[in-house]
């Protein structure tokens, strides 16, 4: 491909996004670059502290449970107190609790602080996703979420490699480095990111008089269906980290073999996330979610036929492509179905579906492998992927039109956020503003003009 073409593609990928988005993106990248503890926690507890594998599993479960609980609480905070304060509290609490965990020696204290770390570290997700939806135009959200997902995986890939070297020097250094980098993210948010919570929606918009609570989210049948489908898809993807290593180990492969196979996942995401997003950005989200669910299910299903590291790596390629397509598309769908004043609660519920899947997946994979064998687990993944694909096909027959960009707090009435001094430098070309996704065009053609104002 000519260099000029590559430059043009890169420019089009990053153009049109407001400056605030890039500060938020930088915060995400820095945070993930310092995510050492999750990588070496099991090794720290078993090798350095001398605890059993069962205890390490208990600590991991408590860490995950903390994330489940904080998802909803952080979502409420995001709507009630604002995106910026929630991010500051979450990141500052993460920095303090991670540093404290490095000094804990009593097993009960370690478990308790690990639970707090799980709560604090997961609390920032609803705020980040809600803020991103606030500051990015609807037609650019898929691209923005994809770039953010790319930053997460790039940071994780680098931190995973660095964690091994840091652990050889000092586990405590890893805890303190992560705490310091998380604190740097909190400072970055405080200095560079203004509050983005939308101003009150006018009465004509239809939902100004309807309070948004967790009950509102739970009664929104269409959105809770998305949460349920998200849980099914997340349950499949989790098998790459809980079911796959166990199955490969029972088949006689070494941990190094698993490492080589699963490394394909990170490499492909870093290499393909941006170009694939350019291909899918304006395509029908219904088809993308159906296809990605099927690819995920049958990608893991093909693992039943794998007999070498190379074939395992090929199956990882299939479900990684599904992950690349599914992650930004599904996050964009969540925003599309969320009332502007309830984005934090809606994002919190969506985040919780992944946290619950992370708790359920190890139990499911262990039970199925022990009772029936690994082949049944991969067949079950294919069935779950098929069910999720069918669910998306039915759910997305009639979607509301994409809502127009909301007016963030602090921006005068009649002035677009992109026209403020902060956003003017990144304003896209005039032709970009008129673009619509293929999904939006299809909805308009079908006469689906209903707004989603579920209460």
Residues 288 and 363 in one domain: yes
Closest CA to 110 of 41, 168, 160: 41
Residue 369 to residue 380: CA distance in whole angstroms = 11
Quick one: how far is CA 235 from the chain centroid?
Answer: 14
332: containing domain: 219-402
CATH of the domain at 349: 1.20.1250.20
The 10s digit of each residue's pLDDT in 102-154 is 999 899 999 999 999 988 988 888 888 888 888 888 888 888 888 888 888 88
- Residue 57 inside a domain? The answer is yes
Residue 77 near residue 118 (C-beta atoms within 8 A): no
Closest CA to 391 of 158, 227, 214, 219: 227
The model carries a pTM of 0.72
Closest CA to 185 of 93, 64, 269: 93
Q: Single out the residue in 402, 428, 444 at which a domain terminates.
A: 402
Locate all alpha helices (DSSP H) within 34-123, ordered by sequence.
37-43, 53-80, 83-103, 107-122
Helix axes 83-103, 124-135, angle to 10 degrees: 150
Residues 233 and 104 in one domain: no
The 10s digit of each residue's pLDDT in 169-213 is 888 888 999 899 999 888 988 888 888 877 654 444 444 446 678
- Residue 12 inside a domain? The answer is no
- Residue 144 inside a domain? The answer is yes
Residues 254 and 129 in one domain: no
Q: Is 263 left (phi over 0), alpha (psi -120 to 50) or beta?
A: alpha
For the record, the structure tokens of 178 come out as 């992560």
Q: What is the mean pLDDT of residues 331-354?
A: 86
Residues 291 and 382 in one domain: yes
- Residue 301 inside a domain? The answer is yes
Residues 170 and 245 in one domain: no
Q: What is the mean pLDDT of residues 351-360?
A: 87
For the record, the structure tokens of 294 come out as 């099927």
The total of other beta-carbon atoms located within 10 Å of residue 216's CB is 19
Residues 327 and 232 in one domain: yes
Locate all alpha helices (DSSP H) within 239-341, ordered by sequence.
243-250, 255-280, 285-301, 309-336
Residues 177 and 253 in one domain: no
The total of other beta-carbon atoms located within 10 Å of residue 450's CB is 11
Residues 319 and 277 in one domain: yes
Q: Structurally, how many domains does the chain consist of?
A: 2
Residue 54 near residue 111 (C-beta atoms within 8 A): no
Which phi and psi angles does 258 have, rounded to 5°?
-60, -40
Residues 135 and 234 in one domain: no
Residues 146 and 245 in one domain: no
Helix (H, G, I), strand (E, B) or coil at 198: strand
Residues 260 and 345 in one domain: yes
Residues 228 and 144 in one domain: no
Q: Single out the residue in 165, 197, 229 at which a domain terminates.
A: 197
The 10s digit of each residue's pLDDT in 12-39 is 667 778 888 898 888 888 888 877 777 6
């Amino acid at each position: 491909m000519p260099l000029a073409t590559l430059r043009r593609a890169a420019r089009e990928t990053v153009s049109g996004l407001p400056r605030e988005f890039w500060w938020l993106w930088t915060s995400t990248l820095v945070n993930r670059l310092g995510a050492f503890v999750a990588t070496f926690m099991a090794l720290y507890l078993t090798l350095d502290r001398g605890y059993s594998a069962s205890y390490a599993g208990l600590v991991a479960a408590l860490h995950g449970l903390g994330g489940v609980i904080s998802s909803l609480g952080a979502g409420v905070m995001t709507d009630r107190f604002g995106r910026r304060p929630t991010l500051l509290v979450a990141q500052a609490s993460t920095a303090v609790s991670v540093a404290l965990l490095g000094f804990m020696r009593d097993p009960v204290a370690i478990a308790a602080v690990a639970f707090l770390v799980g709560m604090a570290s997961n609390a920032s997700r609803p705020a980040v996703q809600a803020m991103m939806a606030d500051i990015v135009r609807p037609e650019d959200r898929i691209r923005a979420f994809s770039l953010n997902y790319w930053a997460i995986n790039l940071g994780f890939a680098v931190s995973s490699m660095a964690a091994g070297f840091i652990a050889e020097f000092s586990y405590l250094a890893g805890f303190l480095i992560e705490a310091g980098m998380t604190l740097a993210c909190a400072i970055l948010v405080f200095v560079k990111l203004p509050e983005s919570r939308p101003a009150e929606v006018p009465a004509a918009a239809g939902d100004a008089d309807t309070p948004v609570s967790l009950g509102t989210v739970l009664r929104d049948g269409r959105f809770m269906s998305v949460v349920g489908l998200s849980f099914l898809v997340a349950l499949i993807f989790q098998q790459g980290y809980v079911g796959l290593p166990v199955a490969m180990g029972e088949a006689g492969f070494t941990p190094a073999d698993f490492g080589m196979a699963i490394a394909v996942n990170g490499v492909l995401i870093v290499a393909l996330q941006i170009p694939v997003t350019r291909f899918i950005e304006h395509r029908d989200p219904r088809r993308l979610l159906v296809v990605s669910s099927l690819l995920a299910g049958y990608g893991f299903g093909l693992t039943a036929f794998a007999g070498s590291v190379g074939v395992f790596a090929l199956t990882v390629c299939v479900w990684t492509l599904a992950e690349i397509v599914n992650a930004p598309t599904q996050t964009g769908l969540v925003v599309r179905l969320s009332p502007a004043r309830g984005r934090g609660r809606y994002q919190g519920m969506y985040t919780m579906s992944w946290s619950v899947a992370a708790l359920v997946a190890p139990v499911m994979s262990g039970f199925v492998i022990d009772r029936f064998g690994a082949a049944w687990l991969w067949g079950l993944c294919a069935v779950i992927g098929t069910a999720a694909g069918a669910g998306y096909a039915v759910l997305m027959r009639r979607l509301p039109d994409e809502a127009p960009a909301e007016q963030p707090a602090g921006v005068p009435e009649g002035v677009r956020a992109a026209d403020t001094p902060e956003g003017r430098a990144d304003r896209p070309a005039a032709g970009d503003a008129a673009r619509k996704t293929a999904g939006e065009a299809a909805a308009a053609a079908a006469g689906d003009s209903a707004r989603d104002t579920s209460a």
